[in-house]
Structure 1
């Protein structure tokens, strides 16, 4: 390689590392310090709330928001009905009939043994309040209809369970009586059956509504480009339905978006969890996503049903449902069938490659049913993909083996015409033609692998089945990064690299898309990529050759921040490719680094090409 090319390559690598370190030190570092300072500034206010020095439920402002930090105090403003089934627990407030206190009891926030259950709903008054509410709307109704502050009476039942529904009633004092029977199944669906009786002398007209509201979006949501978080739903005319998504960042730009639909569903989704309103599937509704208070950043998904008239002495009955839980594939699929919900399975963000992501997920789940380990299931999936592409890969590796065997002839051509690049190119292509070699054939397996790689990344990232799924040894969560780090000798030194001044984030990879803290899996992946690159014929151009030699190093650092399951897939894929390529190269008698290494172990001299 020419000295100028070597110098330029070194300068490029040094500049790239300098930029990454500078970004960490001067951008990410100060941002982290600013966040810590903001949290420290909020601490005195939180202490005042706990001591009772600040009025409970003080209104929020953009510059200084005061919230209730004690959940018990937030829950205690009105009587409540406990909620309990095998999947969720919490309570329902008689004020407004809100479902605003809900934990997913089968999921934990972290892998720690003392980790609390995942919180879905949170009562009004706390930061990031999140709840669902149902009711009626009507104009010029004497005595009114039950609203957000109406206190219902519990007239039957004590605890809401799959076998014990509860009944709530409210009388407006002007001839209208509202009765609500709330039930829950053994998973994530609440059913609300509302009855309105007109005991007066005048006909009244009213319409049912449902609302899921989130008061302020947590900082951790809506930041990832590969994942949808925000408004979600499916709307149509009773025959054809279309899925709709509204990311938080777009929601702020479109404070109101309406959809007309017959049935369907809508709600707010996070990565793994969702709250979705499910009207009667024969009901014509007006669905609405909106931001109602820019200061408090209140997002809501709502629907309003058709107006109906209740004659004196008559009554009407309306049934609505709420899904509030984890987006597990088999659960969503079962509800889609049992409740006749259109495209409910697409509450999981399968992405634009859904035709790959869903089959890949189903195949991984099938293998998991056989072996009981998602990591092993990923290995079996990789093996299956390799078997499917075996003929294509064989042709590719045969071409690469022939090219490697022709290296001496190609070097001779370059030596013969060292000052005539056009002549070198002409004779090289003629050599390829005589030997029936396609120099582009080696790229085909890689090109085919790219969409599969992305689809598997999507599956690992968005499906809750992969969340906290262990492999073996230290890999306890396939959807998270490998926790080992080269800077503490993979855990042998009792030190957290994240605590290093200025560059802690860069060493640990926390909160960034790049890290210098290589893990065991990242290093193993890098080794397999280097070995596979070394088995390919070297590029004819010296600069290209240097770039290809650097690629395993660069990709090792890039891939270090990816989920462990993805590194397992790619490293295992490389191992299978190396095995297949070695077999073919050995058969064709092409030089390869594995045979060279074995020869050195035996003390044999390298065979002449």
Structure 2
């Protein structure tokens, strides 16, 4: 029993530490990061701007350096002005709208038609990429580094010429051309599928009298850092799977400390920048080696860049060569990402979605939920049905534990006899109880196992709800219009009846309260622990969990409440099968009667 008490004390201390960590460290850090970013944006807005707000071009690109290492100015130009000031090719697909900048053939104007900034369908659609001149500059670019013999090669300042005047759609690719002063012609054909993948096919024809040597490069550059708080369960920042080097996840702060991180040379794979729901990624030719780099430049306007550079390609006079790159810009929808991995043979492209260390458990759980969603059309219902399936899988173990609990109820009279026999001899009482448990083959911690079994499932479900875009703005019923966000109601303004807002830490909504009640009832199904410390923990734990889970996504809280209800039903059936009286109401009566008497 001493070990038993220590176990529960450890649980209580762990919960208290988590709460203290959230309120004393995480929340102040988030506010400090937000304030620092706002200050930096203010400084950027007043710093002036360069000609295009981007790293200066490398001129004729004869220095062998990848563009991106020189200083861009700040910018106060709004996004629409930045888009309007350059010649462009329009992009119009069922999923995307935007344009390609003919200067640099740069992907720097992209919006996602199906996704809005808020639950309100009239709110603006999500903007992914913006011109470098705008405050939220973010773009993808493919170009070349040359030498004296090659002459000027396509880079940030190159003005391409469009053949014809059509827009880029899923059925109509666009062709861009550029010929330099040495007679080398670059022909670029850009196509896009029905979702988020651009195919960039380049043909390089050497019409000069000498061989030329050029190195292809690609970069994703972001001229700001996201303002949202960072969460330890989710990686946001630089990402890539670089051939045999495997998965690379580099935080923004890592490059701020080290300036440049160079994982090394790789063959195959991809790299880019990821957010919670969106990503920009480059997929180089999968059979050609390339050097990779994740960088932070602070020599002017701060910016973050993921880039690669392939080995030099030599093109003889009168000869030509072809290259094909892929550019991804869009939402990290699981079926689409998985399809790209298979269709284009991109190594571990599915790791763009942060499934975590337990991906072998997390991803199948999502697939099960997605299956139910496609059948019923509601992710809330999918969560409820997934919970039933998980309960069925754990049924043999849970059944054994509940049976042990039922047997524990049977020996209550013997326990009372031991208490009367040993009186104040606590050590003798504990030894006698342990002997009794051994004789009756009872696990005294059986009441805790059903709750502990929920923990790995809970974290897997938390990961699914938190990281998958399918859960974003997914409604349930009633006031829950976003399962990935906390319950918006609060007990402390009578769930919206009183006309004032409450502090964030007091947002104790209806579903968290339901969860707390079901957890309390589930624990009342078990015998009250004889030790006062254990009894206190049992009484306070539902309240602590109610406050702690109130800030979690509503989908998780709904899962926990539903799981508790199923557990209560399952336990009642097993206890009845073993001939044990269900004393839930007697326990409640005794608990509240004792409190009333003590008052």
TM normalised by structure 1 equals 0.85
Distance 1:66 1:247, change over 3 A: closer
Secondary structure, in 3 states, of the residue corresponding to 1:546?
A: helix
1:242 and 2:246 aligned: yes
The 8 Å contact of residues 392 and 445 in structure 1, kept in 2 or not, is answered as no
Q: CA deviation at 1:424?
A: 0.7
CA distance in 1, matches of 2:469, 2:75: 31
- 1:211–1:302: 8 Å Cα contact kept in structure 2? yes
What do the CA deviations read for 1:334-356 (whole angstroms, capped 9, x no partner)? Answer: 11111011111111100001111
Cα pair distance change 1:117/1:173, threshold 3 Å: same
C-alpha distance in 2 between matches for 1:72 and 1:307 = 38
State the Cα distance separating 1:308 from its structure 2 match: 1.4
1:118 lines up with 2:126 in the alignment: yes
- Find 1:431's aligned residue among 431, 436, 439: 436
Q: In the aligned structure 2, how far is the partner of 1:103 from the partner of 1:160? A: 14
Distance 1:417 1:517 in 2: 48
Question: Which runs of 5 or more residues in structure 1 are unaligned?
Answer: 498-506, 509-514, 601-609
Q: 1:233 aligns with which of 236, 240, 247?
A: 240
Alignment-derived partner of residue 565 in structure 1 = 555
Is residue 440 of structure 1 aligned with residue 430 of structure 2? no
How many pairs does the alignment contain? 560
CA separation of 1:59 and 1:173: change in aligned 2, threshold 3 A = closer
Name the counterpart of 1:315.
320
Q: Does 1:181 align with 2:189?
A: yes
Which stretch of the first structure deviates more once superposed, 321-330 or 228-237? 228-237
Kept in 2, the 8 Å contact 1:128–1:218? The answer is no
C-alpha spacing 1:343/1:20, structure 2 compared with 1 (3 Å):
closer
| Counterpart for residue 257 of structure 1 | 262
Whether 1:217 aligns to 2:225 is yes
Equivalent residue runs for 1:453-492 within 5 Å? 453-492=458-497
Structure 2 counterpart of 1:88: 96
Query: Counterparts of 2:589 and 2:154 in 1: how far apart (Å)?
Result: 85
2:560 is the counterpart of 1:555: no
Are 2:109 and 1:105 equivalent residues in the alignment?
A: no
Cα drift, residue 150 of structure 1? 1.4
Partner secondary structure for residue 305 of structure 2: strand
Matched, 1:335 2:340: yes
* Deviation for aligned residue 1:378: 0.7
**Structure 1 residues 440 and 594: alpha-carbon distance in aligned structure 2, compared to 1, 3 A threshold:** closer
Residue of structure 2 equivalent to 1:544: 534
Residues 57, 284 of structure 1: alpha-carbon distance in 2 compared, 3 angstrom cutoff = closer
Partners of 1:27 and 1:545 in 2: CA distance: 31
1:379 and 2:384 aligned? yes
The alignment status of 1:414 with 2:419, answered yes or no, reads yes
- Mean alpha-carbon deviation: is it higher for 397-406 or for 130-139? 397-406
Aligned-pair CA distance for 1:217: 0.8
**How far does residue 137 in structure 1 lie from its aligned partner after superposition?**
1.0
Q: RMSD in angstroms over aligned alpha carbons? A: 3.2
How far apart in 2 are the matches of 1:454 and 1:189? 32
Query: The residue matched to 1:156 in structure 2 has which SS?
Result: coil
> What secondary structure, in the 3-state scheme, does the structure 2 residue paired with 1:106 have?
strand
- In structure 1, the residue matched to 2:506 is 516
Tell me if the contact between 2:177 and 2:185 (Cα under 8 Å) persists in the aligned partners: yes
Q: CA-to-partner distance for each residue in 1:1-49, whole Å, 9 max, x for gaps? A: xxxx9xxx9xx99xx79x979968x996898699689969988997x99
The aligned counterpart of 1:271 is 276
Residues 1:135 and 2:143 are matched in the alignment: yes
1:404 aligns with 2:409: yes
Distance in 2, matches of 1:199 and 1:28, equals 62
Offset at residue 274 of structure 1 (A): 0.9
* Structure 2 partner of 1:347: 352
Cα distance change, pair 407–67 in 1 and its aligned pair in 2 (3 A): farther
SS in structure 2 at match of 1:160: coil
How far apart, in 2, do the equivalents of 1:56 and 1:519 lie? 51
CA shift, 1:551, in A, is 0.5
- CA displacement 1:128-179 (0-9 Å, x = unmatched): 3110000111222353212101111122342111111111111212222221
Deviates more, 1:453-462 or 1:368-377: 368-377
Distance 1:249 1:449 in 2: 34
The structural deviation recorded for 1:190 is 0.8
* Cα distance between partner residues in 1 of 2:236 and 2:359: 17
2:522 to 532, 536, 559: 532
With over 3 angstroms needed to count, the CA separation of the structure-2 counterparts of 1:350 and 1:483, relative to structure 1, is same
Post-superposition offset of 1:307: 1.3
Determine the C-alpha separation between the residues in 1 that align with 2:389 and 2:355.
21
> TM-score, length-normalised on structure 2?
0.86
Whether contact under 8 Å (1:57, 1:66) holds in the other structure is: no
Aligned partners of 2:524 and 2:587 also within 8 Å? no
For structure 2, which runs of at least 5 residues remain unmatched after alignment? 56-72, 591-599
Whether the 8 Å contact between 1:256 and 1:291 is mirrored in structure 2 is: no
Rounded to whole Å, the distance in 2 between the matches of 1:363 and 1:540 is 42
Q: Partner of 2:423: helix, strand, or coil?
A: coil
SS of residue paired to 1:575: helix
User: Any idea what SS the aligned residue of 2:201 has?
Assistant: strand
Deviations 1:398-456 (A, max 9, x none): 21122233234323322321332221122112222332212233333333321111111
State whether residues 481 and 563 of structure 1, in contact with CA within 8 Å, keep that contact through their aligned partners in structure 2: yes
Q: Quote the Cα distance in structure 2 between the aligned partners of 1:54 and 1:359.
A: 49
Contact 1:59 1:66 in 2 (8 A): no
Give the CA deviation at 1:319.
1.0
- Asked if 2 retains the 8 angstrom alpha-carbon contact of 1:138 and 1:145, the reply is yes
Deviates further, 149-158 or 560-569: 149-158
Aligned mates of 2:111, 2:376 — CA distance in 1: 31
